[in-house]
Chain A
């Protein structure tokens, strides 16, 4: 079903056989790159091959999710942020693990992840990736996915992938899957897919589609939560994407000024259980948003 929310992807095999992929793609360059990524995975270096945490296929969170860029901007330590998220009622968090070929081991590591998992939350790594350095991004993403306690990896792919980067999207996803067998691999991008016809939604959907987190940031856009949600769902339906949809809303201020109303954020959450999430853990520069966290309808 296109555009459905949550649940296990109905496609039987996400780890596709590379040979079958090659059949339809005669490009010698593609063959070379895919072979290279396969060999990287086979060689494996000295890294452990076991992904951390549990792979949440079919998993239903007890409460909704919260995105974290890094702890410094929150003015909190990882432990303090974890306790705040737990007290608010978040069921899972998504913490940035790196940018392109850079894996941020000082920010996303076993200790910081454990602050959340020890409090009952699941943790997903998210990395902002572009097509600029696919092999490097694969390596960095794989490192994050292997951090103990990590339940999965979410690729954040946005404007840099617009304009015909389907191949890089495929290589990125297949490379990560080859490097971390069994990894739960999802992606996040623009919330209103119909406005981005050259973004490789199809490639990400096919190769990174354990879930899709559309950024339905209705407050940033300055539309109501209901119209923003409705348009996003219509566009998802039209796009015929297959990945389970885990919607994301934002607590960024509206163009008219001021934060989105708590009632509106809750209305969005109430309509989109159990997988939806909120961008983002408030900045210390916006202290008024911190108390709002505790007022949101996290519990499913």
Chain B
């Protein structure tokens, strides 16, 4: 992993950097929040490891600024023992996890691996059901043929694909696909029709079952 590491105590900085490099990571070590912010803006990292208390700019301020810039890389805070408020503020500022000092280096490495694993899990590119394959990155639906999907259709199908064991109500779909938009049940029904016809046009062996009471659910067609 390529890691950005901000820590003002240089003994600790050197030890951790040496250890992480030994574990096969690439480390960019900086001394304060301002330098961390600058590095995060000019380079891409797989994770950031940051102390809270630092001169010039503290870790919390730097973390907020990094998140405000749209950067979603996994972040881990290093906090002083017993400082509950540090941990709470750190997580609220946009960190994904924290470690209290003093910490074991093995644990640090394990937490970094865990963050990396989660990040990868979130980036599922292709979802499938029967012969149906949804490529979320290309916004394309494939079975016998391929067909393009709109962003709303992709999100709607994602909801259906991740809940194939139950019905999803129109209200639930409105919350997931049209959050904060003035869309109603009619919109949901229209988009369900769009998706259904597209599935049929590529000869998918699945269809969307619509139940007035319970909602919508993906079903496999038998013997196509």
A and B associate: no
Q: Which residues of B contact A (CB under 8 A)?
A: none
